[in-house]
């Protein structure tokens, strides 16, 4: 498996989103064209964030599938997971775009009855997008940036049950392993990181992403059909 580079992935996602939103200006977009671009940016960002989340967990699984995991690869996996759990740029952008979409949903320009379905769809986007952003912010809680700052108090105090594993708790588990376990004993673990990753992937609420993609698709279709 090729090494992952979440820092580059996030940078590429932001660059692609900048290209999407740049079309607002280059094409002299109307207010509602601009809304369509914001919806596209949300859908793109959510898809990339989901992909990165699963890529990190898959990489950790691959590292710890070895009888004696390489300490260097373990630290590299920790570094990538830490980037995902601390780089808040995409979360901030999603929060910003949520405000744009919500503002459009209550714009008086859409008060005519013919826009009822579009407005309903736009307003329906707010809840899953809010919960998606909140989940990103929760992943960043109690996670510090530098790998070397990991201490024993970062350890998972009590082993989470299967329903509680996510990337944040997996990251704390890995940090506790590095801090507490000698290099030649990495293969002797009380908690199996591969199983923790498996549970984290199974616990990921795909309903939020699927709901957003579905609703955004409908809203963009309605926008394309209407001359506002």
Count of beta carbons in the 10 Å neighbourhood of residue 105: 19
pLDDT tens-digit series, residues 1-36: 556 789 899 999 999 999 988 876 655 556 676 888
User: What pLDDT does 210 receive?
Assistant: 96
Enumerate the H helices of the chain as residue ranges: 6-26, 31-64, 71-86, 89-105, 116-139, 167-180, 193-203, 206-225
Query: What's the pLDDT score for residue 188?
Result: 52
Q: Is the pLDDT of residue 49 over 60?
A: yes
Residue 46: pLDDT band (50, 70, 90) is: very high
187-196 long-range CB contacts below 8 Å, 24 or more apart?
A: 187/67, 187/68, 187/69, 189/64, 190/159, 191/156, 191/159, 192/64, 193/60, 193/61, 193/64, 194/60, 194/61, 194/64, 194/65, 196/160, 196/165, 196/169, 196/170
Q: How far apart are CA 126 and CA 101, in angstroms?
A: 8
Going by pLDDT thresholds of 50, 70 and 90, the confidence category of residue 191 is: confident
Q: What is the pLDDT of residue 23?
A: 76
The upper half-sphere exposure of residue 116, i.e. CA atoms within 13 Å in the direction of its Cβ, equals: 2
Domain ranges across the chain: 6-225
Q: pLDDT grade, residue 74 (50/70/90)?
A: very high
Give the model's pLDDT for residue 161.
86
Give the pLDDT score at 53.
97
- Is 50 exceeded by the pLDDT of residue 152? no
Residue 28 tokens, joined: 């002299």
Please, which pLDDT band fits residue 204 given cuts at 50, 70 and 90? very high
pTM of the complete model:
0.85
Helix (H, G, I), strand (E, B) or coil at 81: helix
């Amino acid at each position: 498996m090729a090494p992952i580079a979440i820092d580059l992935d996030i940078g590429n996602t932001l660059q692609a989103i900048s290209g999407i939103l740049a079309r607002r200006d280059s094409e002299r977009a109307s207010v509602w064209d601009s809304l369509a671009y914001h919806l596209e940016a949300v859908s793109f960002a959510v898809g990339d964030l989901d992909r990165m989340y699963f890529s990190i967990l898959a990489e950790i699984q691959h590292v710890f599938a070895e009888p004696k995991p390489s300490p260097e690869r373990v630290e590299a996996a920790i570094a990538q997971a830490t980037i995902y759990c601390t780089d808040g740029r995409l979360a901030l952008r999603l929060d910003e775009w949520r405000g744009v979409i919500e503002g459009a949903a209550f714009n008086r320009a859409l008060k005519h009855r013919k826009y009822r379905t579009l407005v309903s769809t736009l307003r329906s986007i707010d809840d899953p997008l809010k919960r998606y952003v909140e989940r990103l912010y929760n992943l960043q809680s109690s996670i510090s940036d530098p790998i070397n700052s990991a201490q024993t108090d970062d350890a998972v105090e009590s082993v989470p049950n299967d329903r509680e594993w996510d990337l944040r708790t997996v990251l704390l588990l890995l940090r506790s392993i590095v801090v507490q376990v000698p290099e030649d004993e990495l293969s002797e673990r009380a908690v199996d990181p591969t199983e923790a990753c498996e549970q984290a992937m199974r616990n990921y609420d795909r309903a939020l992403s699927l709901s957003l993609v579905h609703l955004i698709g409908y809203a963009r279709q309605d926008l394309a059909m209407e001359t506002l």
